[in-house]
Amino acid sequence: MDKKDLFGLCPYVTSQKILSGKWSIYLLYLLKDGPVRFNELKRMMPEEITHTTLSRQLKSLEEEGLIVRKEYSQIPPKVEYFLSEIGNKFDKVLLALGEWGEEYIEFIKEKA
Amino acid sequence: MDKKDLFGLCPYVTSQKILSGKWSIYLLYLLKDGPVRFNELKRMMPEEITHTTLSRQLKSLEEEGLIVRKEYSQIPPKVEYFLSEIGNKFDKVLLALGEWGEEYIEFIKEKA
DNA sequence: ATACCTAGTATCAAGGAGGATACCTATATG
DNA sequence: CATATAGGTATCCTCCTTGATACTAGGTAT
C-alpha cells in the first residue's frame, strides 16, 4: 500500500474523505427514500445551513457519484436529487450508523 | 426535533460530528483488534500525518468516549490506546463502511 | 409596476483543522 | 557529554470549509 495517499486504495480512508462534508451523512439519510427537491431538502435541515452551503454539498456529492441531479425545464425551476446506484448501496452504512448513533446518544446521556 | 443543533438528538448528525476528524475512521479501524501504542499507530498511518495531529485526533476520540488511553509509568513512556465499550460497538459501522468503500473504489475505477 | 418563486452562482470574511517546528520529561547507552 | 528513546505540548502559519450577502434567470400573482 502506498502510504502517501490511501484514497482510492484503502476503503476506510476513501470513505472518510467522501463523508468529510459537514452534512454529507445527513443528506444521504434524507435522500434514501427517493427524490427530493432542493428547497424541500433545505426545509428538512437545521436552520444554520444556508442554501449556498447546501448547493455546494449537493454538488460535491454529485461529483463524487453518490447522488444524481435531475433538472426539469420549468419556470420556476424544479430540481430533484436522488441517490445513484453506488449511493443507494450506502444504505447499509446508514443503518449501522443510525443504530450506533442511537447507542452513542444514550451513552453521552448517561455520562452527563 | 430542535432544528438548531441536532447533535445528541439525531443519530446521523451526531455520528457525522464524531467522524469529522480527518483520520477518525481509519484510527478506529486500526484500533479494532486490540491495544496499540502511540508510535506503533503512527507507523501504520500514511506518512503525511504528524505526531502532533495524531496526538490531537486521539485526544478528541478519547474525550468523545470512543477510545481509552492507558499510560504506563515507565521511562521511556509507554501509552496504549484501545477501544472503549461504545467504541467497540462501532465495529458494525466499520464493517459496512469497509464493504461500501471497496465497492466505491471499484466504481471510481470503472468511471476513470 | 412590483413582488415572489426556485435554484442556483459569485464574492468575501471568519473559523477551525491540520501541518511544521521547537521544546519538554527522565533514563539508558555510546 | 551527547544522543536516542516515547509520547507528548505550545506556538504559529496556512489552507479549506462554512456562512453571509448580494446577484442572476424568467414566469406568475397582486
Residue B74 C-alpha, separation from nearest chain A C-alpha, in angstroms: 31
DSSP A35: -
A92 contacts in B (CB within 8 Å)?
96, 99-100
The DSSP result for chain B, as a single string, is --SS--TTT-HHHHHHHHTTSTTHHHHHHHHTTS-EEHHHHHHHS-TT--HHHHHHHHHHHHHTTSEEEEEE--SS-EEEEEE-HHHHTTHHHHHHHHHHHHHHHHHHHHH-
CA nearest to B6, candidates A48, A72, A97, A110: A48
In whole angstroms, give the CA distance from residue B41 to residue B27: 8
Residue at the smallest CA–C1' distance to nucleotide C7: A77
The model's pLDDT over B24-34, given as tens digits with 9 standing for 90+, comes to 999 999 999 99
The model's pLDDT over A5-36, given as tens digits with 9 standing for 90+, comes to 799 999 999 999 999 999 999 999 999 999 99
A10 contacts in B (CB within 8 Å)?
26, 101
Residue B52 CA to D8 C1' — how many Å? 8
B103 contacts in A (CB within 8 Å)?
86, 89
In whole angstroms, give the CA distance from residue A95 to residue A105: 15
User: What domains are there in chain B, each with its CATH number?
Assistant: 11-111 (1.10.10.10)
pLDDT band at A106, cuts 50/70/90? very high
pTM for the complete prediction? 0.93
The nucleotides of chain D lying under 7 Å from a protein CB are 5-11, 17-22, 25-28
Protein residue ranges contacting nucleic strand C, Cβ under 7 Å: A 37-40, 51-52, 55-56, 58-59, 69, 71, 75-79; B 20-23, 48-50, 52-53, 56-57, 75-77
Q: What does the block give as the cell for A23? A: 452534512
A61 CB and strand D closer than 7 A: no
Residue A44 C-alpha, separation from nearest chain B C-alpha, in angstroms: 9
CA-angle at B86, arms to B9 and B63, nearest 5°? 75
Question: Residue A2: pLDDT above 60?
Answer: no
Residue at the smallest CA–C1' distance to nucleotide C16: B21
pLDDT band at A1, cuts 50/70/90? very low
Residue A72 C-alpha, separation from nearest chain B C-alpha, in angstroms: 26
Query: Residue A25 corresponds to which amino acid?
Result: I
The model's pLDDT over B4-16, given as tens digits with 9 standing for 90+, comes to 579 999 999 999 9
pLDDT on residue B66 = 98
**Per the CB < 8 Å rule, is A12 touching B5?**
no
The model's pLDDT over B41-54, given as tens digits with 9 standing for 90+, comes to 999 998 779 999 99
